[in-house]
A = this chain, B = another copy of it.
Amino acid sequence: MRYSRLFGKTLKTISRDIVMKSHKLLTRAGFISESTAGRYFFLPLGMRVHDKIMKVIEEEMDRAGAQKMITPVLHPLELWKETNRTKTTGFELMKVKDRRGADFALGGTAEEMFVDVVRKNGVSYKDLPMNLYQFSTKFRDELRARGGLLRVREFTMKDAYSFHVDEEDFKKEYKNMWDTYSRIFKRLGLDTVVVESDNGYIGGEYCHEFVVISDAGESRFLMTEDGSYAAHEDVAKFKKVGMNIDEKEEEMVEVEAKRGPKMEDGVELHKKPLWQQIKDVLFVDEHGRFILAIIRGDLDVNETKLKHVVDVVDLRHASDDEIRDVVHSEPGFISPVGIKDLICKDKKIVVIADDSMRTVKNFYGGANKKNKDLFNVNIDRDFKPDLEGDIAMAEKGYLSPEGKKLVDKKGIEVGNIFQLGLHYSSRMKDAVFTDKDGKEKQFYMGCYGIGLGRTMATIVEMMSDEKGIIWPEIVAPYKVHLVRLGDSGDLKTKAEEVYEKLKSCNVEVLYDDREDVSAGEKFADADLIGVPIRIVVSKKSLLAGGAEVKKRGEEKIGIVEISRIEKVLGL
């Protein structure tokens, strides 16, 4: 490609609103151009990178035995109603009505569509397992787009959906996809950490994110230094060590407690440790039920974990008025002890105890009355929670479940894999296969996604220097950036010779043939665009016996005879 004819040249100035490194570099170098916020044109250079990323993913998905197909972008809204996802998706679903009044969703993910096409085509146990994937445009009506390709409203996603006779068979595919994703990102030059994460709007029981550690990312997670454990902050588990667990349970007593509503006020008044205090957090769920979460005083409630344990979609904090007038307790003095007898008859309260409540004896805390506290509160004896589980937020410095110190990290989520189990097949009619015994059974499912644009941006976040992008060869828009310095006839002839020779050897070459452009500008553009090998044809190089060859990101310059130019590229 002649650079003079390329659409999408380097830009000298870009909008001040562009702050992320990958956004800046991809825009300045002419790979992408904004249409409206969160929607991008991929210019010819960007398209080439996008296509190459797609090719790597396709090769690895095929190698893993997955089958490529495609679904329409407009999904019949009835399908999303079958699974009740019209309301519960984490992204705002975009909807459109056609001229006949039919309702459609603009595909955000495609679980329902794939279940639909599989159930329409009637499969039996003999067809399973199968893993179907597509590359298709996805829409997310994000409130805020940010960071160029890192968080957009429209993007190409590789999404795959696997169908199995049972969990055992699914687990093999989950491993297969785990390995496939590891290979994909490795080939793309990205080091990924596999992080346990929350399944969010997708459903199912467990899932993992493939995360590239970077401050540009939005994924916060905790991991051990050796990487043996990594989990998103929403789901990270940690060791809750016993504190005074050998102490004898003392008699519960009510004491005067003229104090403020904060945890520290209790600590100061009673001169007892924070961890011995009960932390009570009162929420209201989408059904109007009160949810009282109780946890050891030195820990925090993790709302994502809490939602899973209680199995609700939405939680909000109860107001002071609700605490007083409906629950008949007192802000800052809530206690699980006796609270079920206090609340208005027509209201429900569910008490959930974090399992840290079993690491301490003789808790102290509020008494559901102003300026009264209880000492020596013990679980089972003084109150019985409706539910118990892990609802605690992990923090750096805590111990992993195996007892290693956790550190916190930020990263970019480039891919994820989900167990779906029977989540979709149990909600959608006829989502069944015929088993060996002739009976119909629901599929066991998984799904697997990679965002292509975000992967591209992540490569740039990780591989650049102060001059520009440094593309790994596998996704570089071209292999060689040929630069001609000077416009004399002889130079042109020599440069054209190199250009034609490389093309005839099937080397992808970008040829900067612009006239009246300075050497400095051409070199700066080459560095900015970031093609792996730069070849310069100039008066100086010809005098030295040929063309200058230099790798992007290295300083060493070699001279190669033009007649042997293709050999030094190791073709």
Name the residue on B nearest A137 (C-beta).
Answer: B73
Residues of B within 8 A of A98 (CB): 94, 141, 153
CB-CB under 8 A from A121, the residues of chain B are: 7-9, 30, 33, 43
Q: Does A95 contact B (CB under 8 A)?
A: yes
Which of A124-132, A235-243, A523-531 makes up part of the contact surface?
A124-132
A76 to B5, alpha carbons, bound, how many Å? 28
Residues of chain B with a CB closer than 8 A to A441's CB = none
A68 to B1, CA, bound (A): 12
User: How many copies of this protein are present in the complex?
Assistant: 2
- For A127, what are the chain B residues with a Cβ–Cβ distance below 8 Å? 4-5, 7, 9
CB-CB < 8 A to A73: which residues of B?
73, 137, 139, 154
Q: Which of A7, A47, A51, A143 has the most CB of B within 10 A?
A: A7
A157 CB to nearest chain B CB (Å): 13
Across-interface contacts of A344 in B (CB, < 8 A): none
Question: Is A39 a contact partner of B92 (Cβ separation < 8 A)?
Answer: no
Of the listed stretches A112-120, A208-216, A275-283, A487-495, chain B binds A112-120
CB pair B7–A72 under 8 Å, yes or no, is no
Contact yes or no, B72 A44, CB < 8 A: no
Residue A176, interface by CB 8 Å = no
Contact with B along A1-22 (1 / 0, CB 8 A): 1001111110000000000000
Pair A35/B137 contact, Cβ less than 8 Å: no
CB proximity to B under 8 Å, residues A33-88: 33, 35-36, 39-44, 46-48, 50-51, 65, 67-76
Cβ of B69 and Cβ of A44 under 8 Å apart? Answer: yes
Residues of B within 8 A of A153 (CB): 74, 98
User: Is A287 at the interface (CB under 8 A from chain B)?
Assistant: no
Could you say which residues of chain B place their CB within 8 Å of the CB of A118? 7
Asked whether any CB of chain B lies closer than 8 Å to the CB of A102, the reply is yes
Quick check: B99 and A70 within 8 Å, CB to CB? Answer: no
Give A123 Cβ to nearest chain B Cβ, in Å. Answer: 7
With a CB–CB cut-off of 8 A, which chain B residues contact A7? 67, 69, 118, 121, 123, 127, 130, 132
Q: How far is the CA of A1 from the CA of B63 in the complex (A)?
A: 11
Tell me, yes or no, whether A502 is within 8 Å of chain B by CB. no
Which single residue of chain B is at the shortest CB-CB distance from A97? B94
Minimum distance in angstroms from A433 CB to a CB of chain B: 12
With beta carbons under 8 angstroms apart, the residue of B4, B42, B116, B117 that contacts A70 is B42
Is A420's beta carbon under 8 Å from chain B? no
The chain B residue with its CB closest to the CB of A154 is B72
- Tell whether A44 pairs with B68 under 8 Å between CB atoms, given A36-B102, A94-B98, A121-B7: yes
Q: Which B residues lie within 8 Å of A72 (CB)?
A: 35-36, 39-41, 154
Q: Is A184 an interface position by the 8 A CB rule?
A: no
Cβ proximity bits A511-529 to B, threshold 8 Å, 1 near / 0 not:
0000000000000000000
Question: At the interface, yes or no: A106 with Cβ under 8 Å from chain B?
Answer: yes
- Cβ B99 vs Cβ A35 within 8 A: no
Q: A113 to chain B: which residues have CB within 8 Å?
A: 35, 41
Residue ID in chain B nearest A96 by CB atoms: B96
| Residue numbers in B under 8 Å from A92 (CB-CB) | 99
Q: Check if A67 sits within 8 Å of B44, measured CB to CB.
A: yes
Q: A71 contacts B141, CB within 8 Å? A: no
Q: Distance in Å from the Cβ of A426 to the closest Cβ of chain B? A: 21
Q: Are A94 and B94 in contact (CB under 8 A)?
A: no
Specify which chain B residues have a CB less than 8 angstroms from the CB of A39 in the assembled complex: 72, 74
A120 to B27, CA, bound (A): 12
Q: Which residues on B sit within 8 Å (CB–CB) of A5?
A: 65, 127, 130
Q: Which residue of B lies closest to A138 (CB)?
A: B73
Known: A33-B120, A102-B36. A47 touches B69 (CB 8 A): yes
Q: Give the complex CA separation of A130 and B121 in angstroms.
A: 45
* Interchain CB contact under 8 A, A71 and B41: yes
Instruction: Give chain B nearest CB distance to A498 CB in angstroms.
Output: 20
Residue of chain B at shortest CB distance from A156: B70
Residue-by-residue, is A138-174 near B (CB-CB < 8 Å gives 1, otherwise 0)?
A: 0101010000000001100000000000000000000
Would you give the shortest CB distance from A205 to chain B, in whole angstroms? 25
Query: Smallest CB–CB gap between A104 and chain B, Å?
Result: 8
Q: Give Cα A1 to B39, complex, Å.
A: 37
- A142: nearest chain-B partner, CB-CB: B99
Contact B99 A96 (CB under 8 A): no
CA distance A73 to B153 in the complex (A): 11
Interface contact B96-A41, CB-CB below 8 Å: no
Bound form: Cα–Cα A42–B134 in Å:
10
Distance in angstroms from A38 CB to nearest chain B CB is: 9
Other than A5-B65, A41-B71, A74-B139, give 9 A-B pairs with Cβ distance below 8 A: A4-B126, A7-B123, A7-B130, A35-B75, A44-B67, A47-B70, A74-B153, A99-B143, A136-B137
- 5 pairs, CB–CB < 8 Å, chain A vs chain B: A5-B65, A35-B117, A39-B72, A41-B117, A44-B67
Report A's interface with B, CB cutoff 8 A: 1, 4-9, 30, 33, 35-36, 39-44, 46-48, 50-51, 65, 67-76, 92, 94-96, 98-100, 102, 106, 113, 116-118, 120-121, 123, 126-127, 130, 132, 136-137, 139, 141, 143, 153-154
User: Across chains A and B, which 6 residue pairs bring their CB atoms closest together, nearest first?
Assistant: A39-B72, A44-B67, A96-B96, A41-B117, A47-B69, A42-B70
